[in-house]
A and B are shown apart, each in its own frame.
Chain A
Amino acid sequence: MKKSLTFCAALLCAPLAAPLQAGVPEALSAHILPGFAGFAQAAETLAGAAQADCTAGSLQDAWMHAFDQWNAVADIHIGPSETGALPVAFWPDSRGFTPKTLQRMISGEEEIGLDPVAYGDVSIAARGLYPLEFMLYDPEFAGYEKGSYSCTLVQTMTRDLARQAAALDAGWEGQFANVLRTAGQEGNATYMGEDEAVRALYTQILTGLEFTADTRLGRPLGTFERPRPTRAEAWRSGRSLRNVLLDSKGAYDMAAALADWELPKSKEALDRLFELAERVEDPSFQTVDDPSERLHVEILQQQVRALSDALELEIGLRLGIQPGFNSGDGD
């Protein structure tokens, strides 16, 4: 009861006099659609680069750039991304499916690894950005030479990724953007009202930040007695911290586009997050067993939560909405 009473009380305090608009079209045009277009372009560039030279060293920059682009939209899990996000970014992999599947494919030189079209049927453990990270950065995988099975496999994987990225881009641009824009109109079976579309986007924002705090940061932190550095996201390429920052920025950017009012507290929280990140010494979180470094990462985690709280205040409370169910509700 405490919570629902507070909820009513909060509503009474909300600035009801001002007409509240939230911009689903703006969130689409300023953030989501350019995000998927940018990722599609970067993935295509990566695939082209792999065609020219498949070796790990020559592809790392293009892979990094593709991941940067992905960060902007990584935590969106509705529409085409409901099922389409996982094959691009299957993580965390708590049972080690990715290295296991790659090892199996490479040692058996499985034919499907040579066919970019058929590759769409392969387990998501061997598709997308994370298995490519193994191929490009892990010493056990990255030493392959031109002409080898692994070389062709990397070409196949990057081509498959580019296809996925293009399909996501097309699915958003061509169909789902319109489903969101026409929320509440006749014939829209997904969103019965504009409020449902707003809530859906708002849920993506908060869920993404929760995932960053609890999983991207929480997994490597483990417990004080038992930190788990190798559970960090993308630690092999050293971009664990970068993901935390860019994913958080993606959440903020989408929120800023969704709200057609200022979000000063949220902006301040995001800026502070970037400042605090400078104290972290190892961007791959591999030294979280050192107490002072651990503290830096814990502070970062608190700050991601502070950003989320600020967005709840500046958007959720103002609109009188709460996030809906999300794909991370399971265990």
Chain B
Amino acid sequence: MKFLTTSALALCIAAPALAGTDKAAVVETYANIAQAGYEDSLSTAKALKDAVAALIAAPSEDTLAGAREAWLAARNPYQQTEVFRFGNPIVDEWEGKVNAWPLDEGLIDYVDESYGGASDENPFAASNVIANPTLELAGQEVDATLITPELIADTLNEADGIETNVARGYHAIEFLLWGQDLNGTEPGAGERPYTDYVVGDECTGGNCDRRAAYLTSVTQLLVSDLEEMAANWAEDGAAREEVSANADAGIVAMLTGMGSLSYGEQAGERMRLGLMLNDPEEEHDCFSDNTHNSHFYDGKGIQNVYLGSYTRVDGSTVEGPSLSDLVSETSPELDAEMKGKLDATMTALGAIKTAAEEEGFAYDQMLEAGNEKGEALIMGGVNGLIDQTRTIERIVTTLELDNLEFEGSDSLDNPNAVFQ
């Protein structure tokens, strides 16, 4: 341990002289990738909005399929931006508006009997706003006669401070396009019929006009939320400025995002927990059965940040000086280790994607209790993510940036504060 401390001291003093790759340029690449990722998320969300408008105007098998395809296309660029969440407070505070999960979908629309009703944790788990123009939420009478973006954003979302009251974002839209996946751990996604949007006698599921209003409003909200975040990363945008204010802190933010998404969020919350609960609702994109892509592009986003390269939805590439360049200057071995582990994770996540897309082995089937093949596939991804986190920590130490903890630690700024 003595070695660690003294070498850290030496580097603290010598660090400015060592740098060859410009840290500020590395952070700029990062911000450029974020900007491009949110712009792509925005353009594909606008395409989704158009597809939803087409569905509402003329509900049919085709227009519903078109809206679903547009949703799937919109997910891929967005998932690659998840790596910007941790380490960038502006993104983290906003993220719940677009990608909150899991949700008690019974708040929004009809659900199957097996869903159950209100729960200990959430008395509004089955409030069904679409069927109820007036309802009571947390002791307040709510007028939901008109379903508007404001009603969804200000009243319904996180009603009564309960996180699973997710009324907006990708997963609310996903539910309205696919409906509940009632196949359990058997094959198949949600099977909402297009007639849920037909106004008049053919309407199924009741209140088709209100359902259409909800879907239109919630898609509009997604577009405006993404406009906000794309602007935050544009030139002079708040998130870009914050992460660029200091190059060292910017590098720490990059590594924090990579490590926190890899370990606590993706390996832990999203993959391993779902597997251990054997619950098909514990898959991230549970209505559409798109979880294999959602995990794959999360992992891809982590790799993008390290390599300083992002392939846009139009096929063009955004790239520049990278973390990889920076690390290889100090330690080529460590850079090779990081690249190898990111590759290994992508191979493991790719195997899940291939199984789902080419072998018809969907993610929810992998979650089935006692399904060894599914468990091996998912744990392959989990183990890769955990393993790469160790190397990310190693990079933090090697670059002498051992100050990963952003929040809640006053003691290092002001040691005396603890004993006052």
Q: Do A and B bind each other?
A: yes
Give A residues with C-beta under 8 Å from B.
1-4, 6-8, 10-12, 14, 16, 19-22, 82-83, 86-87, 90, 94-97, 99-100, 121-125, 190, 192-196, 198-199, 210, 222-223, 226, 230-231, 265, 305-306, 309-310, 312-313, 316-317, 319-331
Q: Which of B29-37, B64-72, B259-267 contacts A (4 or more CB under 8 A)?
A: B259-267
For chain B, residues 381 to 420, give those with C-beta under 8 angstroms from any C-beta of chain A.
386, 389-390, 392-394, 396-397, 401-406, 408-413, 415, 417-419
Closest Cβ of chain A: how far from B81's Cβ, in Å? 15
25 A-B pairs with C-beta separation under 8 A: A1-B246, A10-B415, A16-B5, A86-B276, A94-B163, A94-B164, A95-B164, A99-B120, A124-B276, A193-B4, A195-B1, A222-B161, A231-B121, A309-B417, A309-B418, A313-B415, A316-B412, A320-B9, A322-B403, A324-B404, A329-B259, A329-B264, A329-B268, A330-B260, A330-B269
Q: Do A319 and B389 touch across chains, with their CB atoms under 8 A apart?
A: no
- CB within 8 Å of A: which of B288-332? none
**Does B278 reach chain A (CB closer than 8 Å)?**
yes
CA of A306 to CA of B412, assembled, Å: 13
Residues of A within 8 A of B238 (CB): none
In the complex, which residue of chain B has the Cβ closest to the Cβ of A192?
B394
B residues near A322, Cβ cutoff 8 Å: 402-405
Q: Contact at B277–A123, with CB atoms within 8 Å?
A: yes
Contacts of A320 in B (CB 8 A): 4-5, 8-9, 402
Q: Flag if A3 contacts B260 (CB, 8 Å).
A: no
Chain B contacts for A90, CB-based, 8 A: 276-277
CB distance from A34 to the nearest CB of B (A): 24
Task: Give the complex CA separation of A321 and B8 in angstroms.
Answer: 10
- 17 additional contacts, CB 8 Å, given A14-B5, A121-B370? A1-B249, A3-B249, A4-B249, A4-B252, A12-B9, A94-B163, A96-B119, A123-B277, A192-B394, A195-B1, A195-B4, A198-B1, A317-B415, A319-B1, A322-B404, A325-B262, A331-B269
Please name the 7 residue pairs, one residue from A and one from B, whose CB atoms are nearest each other, closest first. A329-B264, A330-B265, A330-B264, A1-B246, A8-B12, A329-B260, A330-B269
Q: A230-B120, A310-B418, A321-B402 are in contact. Are A21 and B279 (CB under 8 A)?
A: no
Residues of B within 8 A of A193 (CB): 4
Chain B interface, >50% SS class: helix
A4 to B402, CA, bound (A): 8
Distance in angstroms from A83 CB to nearest chain B CB is: 7
Cβ–Cβ < 8 Å partners of B273 in chain A: 86
Cβ contact within 8 Å between B120 and A323 = no
- A3 and B278 alpha carbons, distance in the complex (Å): 42
Rounded to whole angstroms, the CA-CA distance of A316 and B402 in the bound complex is 11
Instruction: Give B200 Cβ to nearest chain A Cβ, in Å.
Output: 37
Q: Which of B1, B160, B161, B246 contacts A194 (CB 8 A)?
A: B1
How many Å lie between the Cα of A28 and that of B397 in the bound state?
24
B392's contact among A19, A325, A326, A327, by CB below 8 Å, is which? A325
With A122-B369, A321-B402 as contacts: A95 and B2 at CB distance below 8 Å:
no
Whether B6 and A16, one on each chain, are in contact in the complex, defined by CB atoms closer than 8 angstroms, is yes
Given contacts A82-B386, A230-B120, A325-B389, contact A312 B412 (CB under 8 A): yes
- Nearest residue (CB) in A for B276 is A124
Given contacts A94-B163, A210-B408, A329-B260, contact A4 B276 (CB under 8 A): no
Q: What A residues does B276 contact at CB under 8 A?
A: 83, 86-87, 90, 123-124
Rounded to whole Å, the gap between the CB of A258 and the closest CB of chain B is: 11
- Minimum Cβ distance to chain A for residue B101 (Å): 9
A325 touches B259 (CB 8 A): yes
